[in-house]
Structure 1
Amino acid sequence: MQDIFTVAGKSVFITGASRGIGKAIALAFQKAGARVTGLGSRPESVDWMADSGITPLVGDVADPDFMPGAIEQVIKHHGTIDCLINNAGVNANVPASSTKDETFQHLLDVNVRGLFRACQAYYKARRKEGGVIINVASIAGFIAAPLNTAYSATKGAVLQLTRSLAVEWAGSNFRVNAICPGIIDTDMSARVTGSEGNRAKAEAFIPMKRIGKPEELVGAALFLASEASSYMTGQLIVVDGGVSAQ
């Protein structure tokens, strides 16, 4: 019987793969037999990839000219890209009243415009074959996120991009879905939880009473990249320990 959950042999391109959620997903896909290309923003951030069997790539998703060439480079190396995972993202733990315009613009450039350009470039390269896009969003895209208003706004945009692209490109055999993590134990969330006291408050707020691990996003990503989700598009998979159910 065919294993509909397999990603073996698939070519997968993951942005923001140097650490945290992106690194966990990249390692899991490589272990599952996929041919993985991981994008990091600095050469030193991807040094670990070669020893893990992952093809490293360095670049800035906020650069308007970067992504078309990156997509072309991955296709040249691996022959194709079966799945694009947009995980690159930045945060700014700043009160709305003191958020500077340049801070908001940087969040938009990476979290929204960078992601959209990646989707565009992938679509144009795979227009004849179709493909799979997984956007890593956040529960901050649909619940209030005090002190993270600008970040929350960008993640709300990612959710709407996911839904709209899913419908617009469904006829071209593209599936576009999103994963919405809650509080996950990464460098980015550490800036928000901060002190031990804030971490304890966060854990108390989560119904499962603990902060999630990056590896706990892997299952959703593998599922969405595989044939097991072949009739799913425009959907948001929430992985948040029950926070959004409250």
Structure 2
Amino acid sequence: MNELDFSGRQVLVVGGSSGIGNGIAQAFRANGARVQVCGTRAAAADYSPAEGSHLEGLDYAQLDVGDASAIENFKPSFERLDVLVLAQGAVIYRRGEFEMAGFRSVLEVNLISLMACATRFHALLKTAKGSLIIVSSTAAYHSTKGNPAYNASKNGAVGLTRTLGQAWAEDGIRVNGIAPGLVDTKMTRVTTSNPKRLEGAIERIPLKRLGTPADMAGAALFLASPLASYIVGQTLVVDGGLIL
């Protein structure tokens, strides 16, 4: 028996149009699942592989999680849901998160929309005795001087993972999370495109390399599988040893 075979299972990855979410979506597809991904753009054709978007074989739907009514009114293409992955994320650089408008907008995407999406699909996950995976960040475990909203939101995501894990276990839903370290995506270009910054970052990682979306996908497959059937409310740090 292959515990990582998701044939016949339906997966939804919010924030699955690029980066970590896209890597997770493609991993579930490669292991047999039907996968729908959500992104902010109108159509799959509006994304390109150069941006880290690989949408072949995936169903695509537009969803702006920064808009609460859009989540409430979202019409999925499926009637059953086995795995929900919440990988949406936003960050504002150049001290934009110290302005209240910036702070609120990042919290809306990175934290409030997690609860909105989780509750929106709770009934389907309960019926399927499914799995919810929340993608946070190692930023939850240390300060990020220039990004107070990002940091607060990722701390909140880890707390939400714990609490929903406890609250929804009685519904047969296992809630867990992944805290990625420094992963090579368009969101981390501010570091990866600067040779001096990149060198310093890699020096701090014991494995001496950046993480990849595929690295994060391995953890997601595990957490959604029967191999993790007794794991609830935990956030798995996947960072190459960065925060040790």
Checking the alignment, whether the CA contact within 8 Å between 2:136 and 2:158 is kept in structure 1 is yes
Alpha-carbon offset, residue 191 of structure 1:
2.1
Checking the alignment, whether the CA contact within 8 Å between 1:140 and 1:156 is kept in structure 2 is yes
Q: 1:18-57 to 2 correspondence within 5 Å?
A: 18-44=17-43, 47=46, 52-57=56-61
Please report the TM-score for the alignment, with normalisation by the length of structure 2: 0.91
Out of 224-233 and 159-168, give the one that drifted further. Answer: 224-233
Structure 1 residues not aligned, in runs of 5+: none
* Amino acid of the structure 2 residue aligned with 1:236: T
Alpha-carbon offset, residue 24 of structure 1:
1.1
Alpha-carbon offset, residue 69 of structure 1:
3.4
**Structure 2 equivalent of residue 60 of structure 1:** 64
Please report the TM-score for the alignment, with normalisation by the length of structure 1: 0.90
Checking the alignment, whether the CA contact within 8 Å between 2:202 and 2:209 is kept in structure 1 is yes
Checking the alignment, whether the CA contact within 8 Å between 1:7 and 1:225 is kept in structure 2 is no
CA distance in 1, matches of 2:41, 2:95: 29
Q: Where do 4+ consecutive residues of structure 1 move more than 6 Å?
A: 48-51
CA distance in 2, matches of 1:13, 1:198: 34
Alpha-carbon offset, residue 78 of structure 1:
2.9
Checking the alignment, whether the CA contact within 8 Å between 2:4 and 2:225 is kept in structure 1 is yes
Aligned-pair Cα RMSD in Å: 2.0
CA distance in 2, matches of 1:10, 1:99: 42
Summarize the Cα distance change of 1:51–1:122 in structure 2 as closer, same or farther, 3 Å threshold. Answer: closer
CA distance in 1, matches of 2:238, 2:66: 27
**Structure 2 equivalent of residue 188 of structure 1:** 187
Summarize the Cα distance change of 1:44–1:94 in structure 2 as closer, same or farther, 3 Å threshold. Answer: same
Alpha-carbon offset, residue 188 of structure 1:
0.6
**Structure 1 equivalent of residue 153 of structure 2:** 154
Between the aligned residues of both structures, percent identity stands at 33
Checking the alignment, whether the CA contact within 8 Å between 1:162 and 1:234 is kept in structure 2 is yes
Q: 1:20-169 to 2 correspondence within 5 Å?
A: 20-44=19-43, 47=46, 52-70=56-74, 73-74=75-76, 77-95=77-95, 99-169=98-168
Matched residue pairs, number? 239
Matched, 1:178 2:177: yes
